[in-house]
Structure formats: C-alpha cells, structure tokens
Structure 1
C-alpha cells in the first residue's frame, strides 16, 4: 500500500476530522487501547479539535479504554498513565476530552467465571471471555451515550490492509459517499476511522515525528513494541472484531493461543525490569494445559452447569466445567502466584497496584461455591488465609451472613445418599433450593427450582460410560456397513 502522506498532508487529515466534528451534532467516543493505532487516532483528533475556535469545540469527546482486569501489567501501567494525562491536559487546554476506564461487571469477571462457575480456560471453540470482559463494558458505555444524546460517533483506530477479515468488516459497514458508516450492531452509533488508509509505516512515522499532545512519550510506546513481537488489541465492540489472542495488548491469562510470545519476549528482553512477571507466565502456561484432552476426565465434570450430559453420536463424552475440587486447586495456585509476584516486586511498585484477583471477586466466588456448587465447607476463606497468611487474616468475610450446612451435615448426607442409592449432589441441590427460598413471603418459585433440579440428568458415571460404549459400537457398525 502507498503511504497516506503521498496524497494528503496532516492539515488535510485535520481538516477532514474537523468537518466531521462540526457537521454532526453527536458526541464522539474514541476507543483507546494504548497501542499504536488507537494512539495515532486519538492524537490526530486531539490536534484537529484543538485547532478549532473554542466556541466550536461544543461536543464532548469520550475516550474509553476497557480493562479486563487480567491485562498484562505493563500495559495496564501504560494505559493508566495515559488516561490520567489525557484528563489533566484536556482540562488544562480547555478541550472537550474525557477519559474513562471501563471494567466488566463483577459477575462477568474472568476469575468469577473461571473459578467461581468453573468455566474452562477459553479456546477458539469456546471463547466465553470476549463478550463478558470486552464487548459488554464498551457497548454499554456507547449505548448509554447514544441514549443520552440520541446518537454518537465512534472513532476507531481500524486500518485497511491489516487483514482480509478486517477489510471485510470495514466494507460491511461502509456508506458510500459518507465519512460515517452505521455500525449495525450498535443502534445510534456511527463509525468513523480517521486512519483507515494509513499503513503501519504511516502510523509509526506519524507517532515518531509528532509529539503526544497530552504529554506522553511516543518513543516509550515504540520501545514497548520492540520488547514484544505482535500487534495491538483493538477496542472490541462486537463479535466480528478480530481476537486479541495473538496480541501483546491482550490478557495475560489468554489460552486461545498455545504460547504467550509477547510476555515471553518482554521478560526475555529485560529480565531485570519485567522478570517479576514470570509467575504470571507460568500460571498461564499451567492453565493452558487444562485444555489437554488427556487431563479433562480428572479436572472437569461430565455433567454441565445446566445438568445436561452431552455424548456425541460416536460415543465421545463432552466434559464440561471444572470440578469444584479442581476449582479450589486453581484458586490456590493463583493466590500462590499473587504471593510470588508481591515478593518479587521492584521497590517502586505497590502491592495494591498488582492485585491479580480482587477481594470482591473472591467474595463472589465464595457465594457461587456455596449457593450453586454445594461447597458447604465454605472453602474460599480457608484457602485464602492458608495461602496468604497474615494478609488473609485481615479480610472480613462476613461469615455470619452465610447460613449453610457444614462438614458434619455433608458426612451424614453421604451416608444417607449411599443407603438410599441417590446422588449426593441431588440431595444437596434440593437443600440449597430450600435455603435460598427460606423466609420468603411468596415461595412459589421453590416449586420451579425443585422441578429444575429433578429435570437434570442424574445418571451415574458408570451409566454414562455404558451409553458411550453403546453409541461407539453403533457408530462402528454403521461405518462397517458403509464400507461394505
């Protein structure tokens, strides 16, 4: 691709941005990831708007960055610093920019779903994390602003030529003859890509030759790219946006790819500065191993959260969520990782800056284990306090707020379940249904919940194996018939 600067000057590009800003009455939302493309986009818009007379700078420009809470710490530091500078300089220069850091809701966080609900580590077939961690927070912000103002202009750092897939996505939303294109999946949002025809060289040429208007250092951004070996993660606003799996500006827990080459490169390029991240890399690699089919029978339930058992026509069992016991192991290993990081932190770093799992997430995991996964032993406080030592003793778990049976009741129920030849989980779920509805004035939902429990597939694993064998034999017989 030819350089954009062969045909257009910076003044031309600024002029186009100014025309779009002045000709539409909508506020802007700029997606900012901290990477080269989103930085160039924001910088171009900043300079263009700053050249307008003050009375024409009449519409707010929201700069949003989504923190999944499992971002690579180096990137978190970079983005947080820039968001702070953006707000400071916008106020100082009397510009209409407002930077906002977005986060997923507690119930959508990575650890609440992975450890609390037992969702398996994401892969290409089941990438449950993208919608919860990235799409929902940004979409909610955009839709809220569209509701408030009628419509919004969504300025994104997307470029043609990055990939065939990206070009198809951009073509999908094009309105010929207009600078803006309807987003399609976000009502009231109009997409405007100021660097649509920039090459990657154009982006770097611009960033290296034009200083950051909010006081950041673009050469630091260049150094960060040199210390890794991939591309940046775009603002994800729909399920057609390319994955961040191959990106350095993604999540440190990402198991969609076989190796996190970006974090490896950061650590290898400067072990003195980034070596403390090694425990994160080790944990991520261990988590990726749980996707190995040979490990699934030991780590996962054969029954899903919905109570269903899935067996393919050829007799293969689809293992579902992590077992409660394995979820406990993940939590313990994660907390040990937290402890190692805190022990190895550079002197200029505070522990509070690197909380890889938040106390609020731990409390939600605890609630889910007790109310949905029959953890009557109330394991989360015990695991935390045993692993973290004195730090864990300072947390108010509110144990009196959780009234459930305990270990002695579990022991008694085991005996009764064995005597009556009933699944222990079935009895515990019925108990939990009663506990949840206890004290309610209207208890009609208790009957619905009991019916849901009984509708689950309560076959034993031995019975499941028999069905697997029957299906496998039938599949083999049909294959022989076809072959003959």
Structure 2
C-alpha cells in the first residue's frame, strides 16, 4: 500500500467493496479508463473511491482520465468549484504518484448554446425539442473517449434513483457492475457505486477524508436544496438533464428553475441577473412576433428566432453580463454569431415571414 496518512483511514464496508472491485477491474487489462465528472455528489463519490483504490496499489500500468464538460453555460458557482477541485486534485495526486489526468471537454464553437440560439436562431430547449444535451454535453466528451473504442467509462450511476431508472439499468446490464452501451461503440460503462444508496453516497463523501481536495462540506452547502447531475456521457436511454442544479443556468427544459432560485435565497446573489435572463428568454422563446413562421426545412410552423429577435436576445444577454460582472459569452462566440446573421441575410432562401 502506498504511504498516505489519510489513505489509511478506515472506510465503510460498502466503500471498501467498491474499492476492491475497482482495483480488480483496473488490473484486468490495458484498456484506458475515463471517469465522467460533473462536480455533483455521485461523480464525486465515485472519484473519491477510484483515488482510494489507486492509493492501495503498488504499481500502475495505465492512466485514468477524469473529464469535466464545460458547456459554456454551466452554473458558474459549480464551474468555479470544479476547476478549483481539479487544480487541487492535480497537486494531491501528483504528490502521491497516482496516474490520474484531468481534462476539460468543450463544445465546438458552432454547437455552443448562444451560437445556436442567437446565431442560428434555435429556440431554447424544451421537452419536445431538447437539442442541448447531445451538442453541449455528450458529443464533446465522446470526441475524447471515442479515440479509444475499447475504453472503459466510469460513471456514477446508481440503482434506486427511480423505478424506471432501475428497469433500464436491469435491461442493459452486462454484469453486476457493467452496463452495455448503445449503438456500435465497443466502449463499456463501469459503475462501481451502482449499489450505493443516496445515504451511502453522502457517507462516502463525508467519512472518507482522502482525497482532501474533494470537499464534502462545500458540496453539502451546494446541495442545500438537493439536486442531481446532468449526464456526461450517453449512459442509458432516456437519461438527460432536467431539474438538475449541476447543469446549465440557461436551462428552459423545466418550467421553473427552483434550484437556482434556492441558491440565490441561500446567498448566491451573483446568480440573480442570470436567473432573470433565463426566466425572460423562456417566455420570449414562445413569442411568435420574434419567430419565423417557416422552419429552415421549408415547413410551415414556428421556426427560428428572427434576426430582430436574435439581436434583442444578444442585447439582453450583454446587459445581464454587465450587471452580473460575469463573463457569459466570449468574443469568439459573438463574432461567430454575427457571421451567421450575415449568412442568413445573404441567403435568398432564408424567409422570416410568409403570407
């Protein structure tokens, strides 16, 4: 066992069982491992156990890459927490010689939220047209992982989250801790905490001091009003974001974002102007005055935002940025947005209103 005072702290029986399974699976082959991390409770508990498992091994034959997807519209409180955690983990794991690497996945410029909404005129996501999860979150991570088609993907999937979830897990189980993947990819999903309850997860975070960089007290503060995590990989059919706090501050899939409201009540007043923008655009989205009455495929119906509508959204966003004193959109994105506006203006097939 590698010498580390905190590594030797006794762990819960269920955690030790997970650690033993992680060690066994790690040593089984040379296929690379990727761990999907959102900063939420489940992925944090998983990461704690993986680091604990590695600390009990004497030698390492492959790296484990921890991936966080920064969509560009993540809750900025969570993003700051994740980036700080990553920096601390890099130092802590390096000092112990553990084979962990940390990587940030970022959507392609053309797929970023405001480029889609303000540049192309996409309506903000709804339950019917939920275009965001794949473009902002799943695809950027897949681009990293799919370079190794035989990779193992570690995810904080658990039984007991819902009956429907349990049925889906059962249907797609390859073995007790493995799930099959959709499509033709040969990657496999490994979930060492699949038998952890919600109580177990919090116990894992609270009672395992190692690694120090994952701060259970800070997470407890962020979870005052509870929440779940947006997926970082296409784990199972039907899994997507919804009422999760560990997701995008622009999310309009839910009617009301109670989580951000609660965070503001709990002292995160810097989120106020972001929340106001989110609430405004969720209403503005359905105003037919600022939507084309023809879709880009030529069919009749509510189409993209008109150019005027897109300009109004950008102005409101920049106003929110100024008031919040946070960077909400990059210069690179604004430049791309204006290029897309010009492309529509130059396109004779682009029609905003038909008789």
Normalised to the residue count of structure 1, the TM-score between the two structures is 0.68
Taking a change above 3 Å as real, the CA distance of residues 47 and 459 of structure 1, as seen in their structure-2 partners, is: closer
Cα shift at 1:167? 1.8
| Number of the residue aligned with 2:56 | 51
Equivalent in 44, 59, 83 of residue 39 of structure 1: 44
- Pairs aligned (count): 344
- The unaligned stretches of length 5 or more in structure 2 are 1-11
Equivalent in 75, 78, 87 of residue 75 of structure 1: 78
List aligned pairs for 1:117-132, cutoff 5 A: 117-132=120-135
Say which SS state the counterpart of residue 347 (structure 2) adopts.
Answer: helix
Say which SS state the counterpart of residue 213 (structure 1) adopts.
Answer: coil
RMSD (Å), alpha carbons: 2.0
Partners of 1:110 and 1:239 in 2: CA distance: 24
| Number of the residue aligned with 1:250 | 247
Contact 2:137-2:231 within 8 A present in 1 as well = no
Partners of 1:171 and 1:250 in 2: CA distance: 26
Partners of 2:13 and 2:210 in 1: CA distance: 21
Cα shift at 1:139? 1.1
| Number of the residue aligned with 2:209 | 211
Contact 1:14-1:47 within 8 A present in 2 as well = yes
Say which SS state the counterpart of residue 223 (structure 2) adopts.
Answer: helix
Cα shift at 1:28? 0.7
Question: Is 1:309 equivalent to 2:299 in the alignment?
Answer: yes
Partners of 2:306 and 2:129 in 1: CA distance: 18
Equivalent in 103, 107, 110 of residue 104 of structure 1: 107
Partners of 1:70 and 1:215 in 2: CA distance: 24
Contact 1:143-1:188 within 8 A present in 2 as well = no
Partners of 1:189 and 1:459 in 2: CA distance: 44
Taking a change above 3 Å as real, the CA distance of residues 58 and 118 of structure 1, as seen in their structure-2 partners, is: same
Partners of 2:233 and 2:185 in 1: CA distance: 16
| Number of the residue aligned with 1:286 | 280
Question: Is 1:13 equivalent to 2:21 in the alignment?
Answer: no
| Number of the residue aligned with 1:221 | 219
Say which SS state the counterpart of residue 148 (structure 2) adopts.
Answer: helix
Normalised to the residue count of structure 2, the TM-score between the two structures is 0.91
Farther off after superposition, 156-165 or 205-214:
205-214
| Number of the residue aligned with 1:383 | none
- The unaligned stretches of length 5 or more in structure 1 are 1-6, 311-317, 343-353, 375-427, 431-452, 463-484
Question: Is 1:366 equivalent to 2:338 in the alignment?
Answer: yes
| Number of the residue aligned with 1:402 | none
Cα shift at 1:267? 0.6
Using CA pairs below 8 Å that are at least 6 residues apart, which structure has the higher relative contact order?
2
| Number of the residue aligned with 1:381 | none
Cα shift at 1:459? 11
Contact 1:212-1:218 within 8 A present in 2 as well = no
Partners of 1:38 and 1:205 in 2: CA distance: 14
Partners of 1:249 and 1:125 in 2: CA distance: 22
Runs (4+) off by over 4 Å: none
Cα shift at 1:14? 1.6
Say which SS state the counterpart of residue 147 (structure 2) adopts.
Answer: helix
Question: Is 1:327 equivalent to 2:310 in the alignment?
Answer: yes
Taking a change above 3 Å as real, the CA distance of residues 37 and 459 of structure 1, as seen in their structure-2 partners, is: closer
Partners of 1:217 and 1:34 in 2: CA distance: 11
Contact 1:14-1:45 within 8 A present in 2 as well = yes
Partners of 2:227 and 2:39 in 1: CA distance: 14
